[in-house]
Structure formats: structure tokens, C-alpha cells
């Protein structure tokens, strides 16, 4: 016996769908199942596709694409319709996507089977179908799928769309309407299967109207109308309104949530439905799930409305334009909760004509974090507007937040104590004329400076504890000078650590974006966010988290350039105080960042060694601070590095010849060996020792 005969005997057909050619090859049984002439043939894709119910086609399209991606079998249940859109039968498709050797996923071929499913057709009974099956099992499967789909719907619109796409086994409705109540009047929440405007007579209808939906809302009892005659007999007053839709059966079921009837659901059928106990059970179960989904969606929409209102009232804003500078900013809330959190940025005009830029992050992503953030922003604006320096502003803000979290903790009570909250913050006072930023930092990530030639360097600044940790904290101030054409980026840790990254790998992810040439700061701000939330944002090993597990705030400031040199120089300045010898390591890192694309790595090591030696000598042999200035200039491949370390001592260094056991005295010897040029320049107050390295090994630029 042939395989084709066996498959035809069990109502199973074979098909081959060539996606690239747009053709479908069917055997006789597959053609019959699709409502085509029962003979083998090759059909155009459009002719076969027209036989699928549109809702089911969308489903199988997604299933097939997933199977192509994962290399698995594609299985789906499809309703077959005739030229008038009436459902003929339900078939199960089971196929294997075959991708060509070149890996082109758009040119796959589907090879598989079509098999009729034991489901009654509209207006028929079990005895009328060619296949005997387990009806309860198919309906249980339908209810499970319907419950899952309704549970995942997050808005009223999504709930109505899911309800409209439900394919009930054996008696799918062609028209749906969801009614609600407002006071003593019936309202329509949504409908499907009716043209726009046809619902007008049923909108804003008094609840005492002789209409099935109104009665269901009044009594909380379902109404089943299996025939037009039954509808006309029971509701003669509103029958003319329903008659024009041409339906044969109606079911009106109460939508009950938490013991309260919140509305009614109407399912209308173009074919007669007897509403057997099984059918009534399916409809009533769907109505209960629909009511719960609508109630959840209503609560979610209320929360979203609250969230949007809170966001609008607390959304960071940029102030007036800064002369000679350009500013761009972005705020992206976390993907969970109320879409608000503790991140913010601010721009405040100061009494002295300068501008304050503030960026911060209150611990948490909940309403309490948003509330604390709002109050902290107000306090910071008040302290800044009073004319305080950056360190004083942060000190006052820390005391304010510490007292505020203590008050929250007291309000929470003994049963549910509230953990103290803290906040990180970076406050920068900008002098547009001089291009300087006086920065105070409270546990916040360091800023990033992008030089005019596109080199991005983390500018390490002095800092203190996060706000709210201690009532009395000091916040030292660091001055950063922006040269014409340079950009500084301030951000919260969400921009760096989102997506399973730490501070190191997150910076590696952002650096190419910052160094990509762009004249438009708005494009740069968008690119930074896209680097975190876009499709390529996760590329390191380790646990991968939701791309929106943390809020993001980012501020980008650029000092506009006049006529810039053809190859702008990279510059950086750092003060190393006597009381902070650990900042020598900051100087070493700063030089490495400036030379990150230097041709000879051994020269980079030499530069780092000489910087360390020069700065250490200042701290050991003088009583003052060291001021380090580094500059890279010239064309790539022939650049010059010049580093100067200045101090206030008039005592000039001199070369010594240390013995083998000596622990010092080799500084100038090292510079003579490693530097292409070096020297000591006396100044009016103090001196400056410098060295130069030439990238090409020549005489310098």
C-alpha cells in the first residue's frame, strides 16, 4: 500500500511551501483539506494563503520564523475558510523549514503535513463531522491558550484584541462587544465585527432599557438567545437594532470581578448555536477570564496614568542656552514598576552668571525613590540658587537627605521598617567664558571628557560619600578645563552597568560611541542610550539582565570651537596634593588614556614611569602640591607627548650617581635614558620639570 494512500485514509495531506519561489505544492488530500480541487497541483502562495483564517495566518507566520531561527519543527492549528470567509474545517500543520546551504533564512522551504482536527463546524453537531474526537480536550486546550493570552494582555485595547482573535472550538463568534456601566447608563468599552459608527445606538443607553446587555448588568445573570425568533420574542423593543447585523445567535454574559458585575460581554454568531451545556461552560469561562483581564488592565492603566503624571511633573528639563556651549540630555526610566525612578538631571542658572549642571541617582526605582528624588532636586536648586560653591551645595544636600530618610524610616512603623536611602550626585559649576567646570562628586561615576580629536578619557575627580550616608561629609572640588571643541559626558550608573556589565566592561561598550565623530550632540545622546538598549548591547560573558533594569540619565556638554587647528591637541591637567599621594595612580592612568592609540606601547610604559617618578619627587622633596599637565599634539604617527610637573619649590633637581643599594636618586637618570627631550624650567615661584616623547622617533613636532 502506498504512503500517499495511507495518509489520505487518515485525512492527512502533504505539502511543500517554497518561500523563495512563492509556490506551494499539494497532494490531492492536502488540496481537499484546503478547500481546493482534490487533485495534486502547484499553486501560487497567494491562492493557498487566502484559504487560511487571517488571524491564524499571523500565528503560523510567527511560528515558522521561530522554527527557522531555532532549527525546529513548526506546528500550528489553522482554520480553513471558503471564498465567503466561512470556516470549513480546522487542520493541524506540522512542517520542517529547510534552509539552503548559504544560510539565507528568507529562502527556506517548508515540507510537512496537513491533518484535519476533530472539531465541529459552525452550526453543526458532533455527528455531522467526518472525524470523531475528544471535544472536551480541544476545548480545554482552547481555554488554556485563551487564559494565557488574556493574562499577558496589559491594556484594555490588548484585552479586546485578544478577545476578538479567540477561535472557540466549533462555534467561533463573528461579532463581539464589551459593555461597561457608568452610573445608571450602559457604555461600550470596545467591539469587534461591527463597522465604525454601528455601535452608536448602544452607546450611553439607560440601564433600564429592554436590552440584553443592560439586563445582564442589572441582574448579573447570563442570557442566551439561540435564534432571531427568541431575540424578537424576549426583547421586541431593541430587536430592530440587532436585526440589521444579520446574526443568528447571541450570548450575553456578565463580567464579574471581585464579586461585582462590571459589565457584559456579547458574542454574536452568523450561524445558529444551540448553546449546549458544554458551549455555555466555555463561554462563561471565557467571560470570567475576560473580566479578570479587564480588571487587571484597568488597574495597570491607572498606574500608568499615575506614572505618566508623575513623570511629567518630575521630568528633568534643560534650562536656557549656555553661550558658547551646547547641551543635550536623555532620561530613560526602568522597564518595571511605575516607569519612574530616582535618576535625574538638572540645569540651573546661578546668581554669578554661571550655570550649574547636576546629575544624580537616588537608590531604588519605586515611588519612594521618585519622591525622594523630587525633594532632593528642590533642595539642590535652592542651595545652588543661594550662590553656594559646589562642595557646600553637596554638603547641605547630604544633611538634608539624611534627615529626610530618617523621617521616612520613622513613618514606616515598627512592622515594616524602611531602609535608609542614599543618593549619588555630581554637581558641576560651569563658567562658559573660561570653559571651566568646578566639579564636586558624591559617590557618582566620574565624568568622561572627549577631546577635539575624538579621544574619550575618564576624567577622575575627587569625591566624597554618597548623599545621606553621613550628616557631615566633605566634598572636594576638582576643576576641569574644556578646550574649544571638547565634550564632557555625565551619566548615572545605569548607562554603564545595564545589561550584565560592570564599570570596566560598560565603559568599553560606551567608548566607541563617544569616539565616533558627530557634530550633533542630540545624535550622540541617542547613540549612548541605543548602545545600552539596542540589539547589540549585550556582548560580554556573564549573566544577561533586562536592558531596562536600571534608570538612565545622561548629560552631554560641548564647548563650541571657533577655528580649530587641523589636528587638535589632547590636553589634561591634574593636581596631586600632598595629602593625596594615591592620586599619582590617577596621573598614570590619565597618561595611559591620552596615549591609548600611541604606536609604540614601550614608549607609553616609559611615559607612565616618568610621570610617576616626577610626581613622587615633588611629594617627597617639597612641601607643596604637584600640578601635572599633559599634551599630545601633531599628526598621527608623528605626534609629540609633552608632560610638565610643576611645584612651588625653588630648589632645582640635580643628577646623582646612586650606588647599587641606594633607594633614590635615579629620577633624572631615568628621564635621560627614556625621554626624547627633557628639562627643568625655573619660574617666578617654583619650577617645572618636563619631558617629551616623539611617536615617530624623530625630532618632534
pLDDT in tens, 401-450: 888 765 555 444 444 445 567 899 999 999 998 889 999 999 999 999 99
Q: Answer yes or no: do 380 and 497 share one domain.
A: yes
Residue 133: pLDDT above 70? no
- In tens, the pLDDT along 349-368 reads 988 889 999 999 887 666 67
Task: Note whether 206 and 159 are same-domain residues.
Answer: yes
For the stretch 518-566, pLDDT in tens is: 888 999 999 998 888 765 444 443 334 444 467 888 999 999 876 545 5
Indicate if 262 and 218 belong to the same structural domain: yes
Cell numbers for 463, please give them: 569625591
Of 331-345, 547-561, 630-644, minimum mean pLDDT range: 331-345
Same domain (yes/no): 94, 207: no
Q: How far apart are CA 52 and CA 62, in angstroms?
A: 14
State the sign of the Cα–Cα–Cα–Cα dihedral 273, 275, 281, 285. Answer: positive
H-type alpha helices, 516-567: 521-533
Summarised one tens digit per residue, pLDDT across range 445-469 is 999 999 888 888 888 888 899 998 8
For residue 177, what is the enclosing H or E element?
Answer: strand 175-182
Q: With helix as H, strand as E and coil as C, how does 107-140 read?
A: HCEEEEEEEECCCCCCCCCHHHCCCCCCHHHHHH
Residues 282 and 328 placed together within one structural domain of the fold: no
Domain that holds residue 105: 1-118
Look up the pTM and report it.
Answer: 0.53
> What domain count does the chain have?
4
In the numeric block, the cell 459552525 is attached to: 122
Q: Is residue 698 part of a domain?
A: no
pLDDT score, position 308: 62
CATH number at residue 501: 3.60.40.10
User: Which of 72-86, 299-313, 318-332, 641-655 is predicted least confidently?
Assistant: 299-313
Q: Percent of the chain beyond pLDDT 90?
A: 19
pLDDT for 1:
61
Q: Same domain, yes or no, for 149 and 212?
A: yes
Q: How many residues does the structure list for the chain?
A: 701
Q: Widest CA span of the chain, in angstroms?
A: 118
Q: Are residues 357 and 483 in the same domain?
A: yes
pLDDT at 193: 67
- Please tell me whether residues 176 and 55 are part of one structural domain: no
367-385 vs 390-412: helix axis angle to the nearest 10?
A: 150
**∠ Cα 260 266 268 (to 5°):** 165
Amino acid at each position: 500500500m502506498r504512503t500517499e494512500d495511507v495518509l489520505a485514509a487518515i485525512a492527512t495531506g502533504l505539502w511543500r511551501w517554497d518561500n523563495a519561489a512563492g509556490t506551494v505544492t499539494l497532494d490531492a488530500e492536502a488540496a481537499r483539506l484546503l478547500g481546493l480541487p482534490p487533485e495534486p497541483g502547484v499553486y501560487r502562495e497567494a491562492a493557498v494563503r487566502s484559504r487560511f483564517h487571517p488571524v491564524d495566518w499571523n500565528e503560523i507566520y510567527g511560528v515558522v520564523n521561530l522554527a527557522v531561527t531555532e532549527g525546529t519543527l513548526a506546528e500550528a492549528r489553522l482554520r480553513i475558510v471558503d471564498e465567503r470567509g466561512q470556516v470549513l474545517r480546522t487542520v493541524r500543520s506540522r512542517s520542517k523549514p529547510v534552509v539552503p546551504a548559504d544560510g539565507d533564512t528568507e529562502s527556506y522551504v517548508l515540507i510537512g503535513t496537513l491533518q484535519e482536527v476533530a472539531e465541529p463546524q459552525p452550526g453543526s453537531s458532533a455527528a455531522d463531522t467526518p472525524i470523531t474526537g475528544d471535544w472536551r480536550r480541544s476545548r480545554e486546550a482552547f481555554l488554556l491558550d485563551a487564559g494565557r493570552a488574556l493574562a499577558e494582555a496589559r491594556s484594555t485595547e490588548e484585552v479586546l484584541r485578544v478577545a476578538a482573535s479567540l477561535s472557540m472550538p466549533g462555534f467561533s463568534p463573528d461579532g463581539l462587544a464589551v459593555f461597561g456601566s457608568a452610573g445608571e447608563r450602559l457604555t461600550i468599552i470596545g467591539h469587534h465585527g461591527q463597522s465604525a459608527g454601528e455601535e452608536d445606538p448602544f452607546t450611553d443607553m439607560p440601564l433600564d432599557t429592554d436590552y440584553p446587555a443592560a439586563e445582564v448588568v442589572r441582574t448579573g445573570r447570563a442570557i442566551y438567545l439561540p435564534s432571531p425568533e427568541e431575540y424578537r420574542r424576549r426583547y421586541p423593543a431593541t430587536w430592530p437594532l440587532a436585526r440589521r447585523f444579520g446574526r443568528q445567535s447571541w450570548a450575553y454574559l456578565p463580567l464579574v470581578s471581585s464579586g461585582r458585575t462590571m459589565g457584559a460581554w456579547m458574542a454574536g454568531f452568523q450561524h445558529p448555536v444551540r448553546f449546549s451545556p458544554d458551549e455555555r461552560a466555555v463561554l462563561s469561562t471565557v467571560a470570567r477570564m475576560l473580566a479578570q483581564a479587564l480588571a487587571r488592565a484597568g488597574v495597570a492603566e491607572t498606574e500608568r496614568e499615575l506614572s505618566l503624571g508623575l513623570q511629567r511633573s518630575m521630568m528633568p528639563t534643560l534650562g536656557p542656552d549656555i553661550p558658547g556651549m551646547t547641551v543635550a540630555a536623555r532620561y530613560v526610566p526602568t522597564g518595571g514598576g511605575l516607569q519612574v525612578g530616582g535618576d535625574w538631571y538638572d540645569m540651573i542658572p546661578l546668581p554669578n552668571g554661571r550655570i550649574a549642571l547636576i546629575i544624580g541617582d537616588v537608590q531604588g526605582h519605586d515611588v519612594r525613590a521618585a519622591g525622594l528624588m523630587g525633594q532632593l532636586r528642590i533642595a539642590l536648586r535652592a542651595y545652588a540658587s543661594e550662590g553656594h560653591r559646589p562642595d557646600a551645595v553637596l554638603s547641605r544636600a547630604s544633611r538634608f537627605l539624611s534627615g529626610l530618610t530618617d523621617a521616612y524610616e520613622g513613618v514606616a512603623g515598627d512592622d515594616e521598617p524602611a531602609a535608609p536611602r542614599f543618593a549619588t550626585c555630581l554637581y558641576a559649576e560651569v563658567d562658559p567664558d573660561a570653559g571651566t567646570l568646578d566639579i564636586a562628586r558624591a559617590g557618582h561615576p566620574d565624568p568622561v571628557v572627549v577631546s577635539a580629536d575624538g579621544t574619550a578619557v575618564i576624567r577622575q575627580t575627587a569625591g566624597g560619600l554618597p548623599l545621606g550616608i553621613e550628616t557631615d561629609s566633605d566634598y572636594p572640588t576638582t576643576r576641569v578645563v574644556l578646550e574649544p571643541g571638547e565634550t564632557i559626558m555625565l551619566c548615572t550608573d545605569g548607562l554603564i552597568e545595564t545589561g550584565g556589565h560592570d564599570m570596566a566592561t560598560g565603559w568599553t561598550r560606551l567608548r566607541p560611541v563617544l569616539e565616533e565623530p558627530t557634530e550633533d550632540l542630540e545624535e550622540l545622546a541617542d547613540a549612548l542610550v541605543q548602545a545600552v538598549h539596542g540589539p547589540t548591547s549585550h556582548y560580554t560573558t556573564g549573566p544577561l539582565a533586562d536592558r531596562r533594569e536600571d534608570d538612565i540619565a545622561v548629560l552631554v556638554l560641548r564647548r563650541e570651537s571657533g577655528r580649530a587647528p587641523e589636528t587638535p591637541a589632547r590636553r589634561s591637567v591634574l593636581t596631586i596634593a600632598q595629602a593625596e599621594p594615591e592620586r599619582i595612580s590617577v596621573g598614570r592612568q590619565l597618561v595611559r588614556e591620552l596615549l591609548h592609540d600611541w604606536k609604540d606601547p614601550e614608549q607609553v610604559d616609559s611615559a607612565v614611569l616618568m610621570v610617576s617618578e616626577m610626581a613622587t619627587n615633588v611629594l617627597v622633596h617639597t612641601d607643596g602640591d604637584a600640578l601635572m599637565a599633559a599634551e599630545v599634539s601633531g599628526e598621527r604617527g608623528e605626534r609629540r607627548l609633552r608632560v610638565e610637573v610643576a611645584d612651588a619649590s625653588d630648589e632645582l633637581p640635580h643628577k646623582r650617581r646612586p650606588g647599587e643599594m641606594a633607594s633614590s636618586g635615579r629620577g633624572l637618570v631615568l628621564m635621560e635614558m627614556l625621554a626624547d627631550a627633557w628639562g627643568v624650567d625655573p619660574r617666578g615661584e617654583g619650577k617645572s620639570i618636563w619631558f617629551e616623547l616623539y611617536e615617530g622617533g624623530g625630532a618632534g613636532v
